[in-house]
Amino acid sequence: MPSRDNVHVLVARYLRDNGYKNTLEAFKEELGLEDDMIPSDHSITLESIIEQKRLFDLSREFEAVTVADNEDKWHVPYPDCKIILPKQSPESNILFVSVANLSIPPSADDQSSIYPARPCIIATSADRSLRIFDFNTFELLRVHTHLHSSPILSLVALNESVLLTGGMDGRLVVSNPATGDIIAQHKDHQKYLVRIACSEDMRYLATAGYDKKVNAYSIENLGPDDSTFTFTKLGTISFPTNPEAILFATPEDEKSSETTTPRLIVSRRDSTFLYYYKLFPVLSEAARHNLNPDGNSWVSFCAMDMVLDPVESKFLVVATSTLPEMRFMMLQPGSDKILQNASTKAPQDAYSSARIFWRPNGSGFWCNGDDGIIRGIELSTGSVVAQLKHHDGKVKAMFAGIVEGREVLVTAFQLTYQGGFDKSIAVWELGKR
């Protein structure tokens, strides 16, 4: 006799108990079931299974706001002590800023191939320059102006001796930060290359351009120096509008396999969807998920930036182009279900570039704003719980992370005062140096 939790028994009992006599007789005949095989035990029913599933989903939603091992409340202290880099900072508008461990000898004439890596601030500006500062002393270590024929918009440090830069000239340039030597370059975009993304294991790379294209590559033999690795182009995706954000992530239901290849996630202008692409056997669309809570096709925003949580790479936070204030949404990669949806209170207009960065402990994130304020958003409530302000003006670029064991935030401003302009980089730390 079938067990009481046999799926056929459950269905037959549901049909019998709800009076579907004709359907029940056809079902019994098809499967060869007899009346004595359908017990009256109601401890397990289709309804109870559905209720258990509903409760399980609710528990998963509750879990979603406790990303960082119960660190669901905004963690205190947070970086709020400001230091402004000396006036050797760029005099032009700053377009991108980041922090990475780089192997930079004290002198440009020092050709030593091995030099201990140190944390460095990397900034690009409208004068085409790429500047590298020692994070601890703020000493200007290098200035490279020859990497691109136009300003650099995006940058990724592959390791301590290899930088990837994307510029308004549409080129992806591979260079050595210490010497400025160009190792390789690719001209796969006809207009601005605005975004570079790498997978967590540094095996895959993607670029997004304002030629309405996204290119994907694999990275082979990435070693400690700049001479061992190669790029292989996997394919190109063409869109009807410009892509805005790109990210590699693995949907939660695909993480069980050790050989899982991440998905490439893309957002684009005039679309509320996130587009998911598989890399193999060919670069092709695997799914798309609508960020519009109403699920309709009326376009009122798009995803301008998105970042994975730093604790488990399990949750995705998206910053939108919503006017007049940026909104954020949190979801799991590969899911339509929005776990958080709230305003950041950060003003923006149609020409703004929304940027967000998780705090390293996962208790919240930072976002920029056109009013010169960096806002700290508590994840569990979606509330603004911290505000950092330098001067009036736009926050143009940001970085948040851990540097030598301490939490830091680096921001770049375009400031206006007394009828003039002041472009500066601010480092925010937990306390005064």
Sequence-distant (6+) residues with CB within 8 A of 48 are none
DSSP conformational letter for 35: G
Reduced 3-state DSSP string for 147-180: CCCCCEEEEEEEECCEEEEEECCCCEEEECCCCC
- pLDDT below 70 — which residues of the chain? 1-5, 41-72, 87-91, 107-114, 223-227, 255-259, 294-299, 391-392, 414-422
For the chain, domains (ranges, CATH) are 7-64 (no CATH), 81-429 (2.130.10.10)
Say what the pLDDT of residue 422 is. Answer: 54
Say what the pLDDT of residue 221 is. Answer: 77
d(CA 396, CA 220): 33
Mode of pairing for the β-strands spanning 172-175 and 162-167: antiparallel
Tokens 């399990």 label which residue? 314
Angle, alpha carbons 21-25-26 (nearest 5°): 120
Number of C-beta neighbours around residue 34 at 10 A: 8
Say what the pLDDT of residue 224 is. Answer: 65
**Is residue 402 a contact partner of residue 359, using CB atoms and an 8 Å limit?**
no
Q: What strand order describes the sheet that includes 118-125?
A: 94-102, 118-125, 130-134, 140-144
Q: What is the pLDDT of residues 244-276, one digit of tens each?
A: 999 999 887 776 666 679 999 999 999 999 999
d(CA 413, CA 368): 10
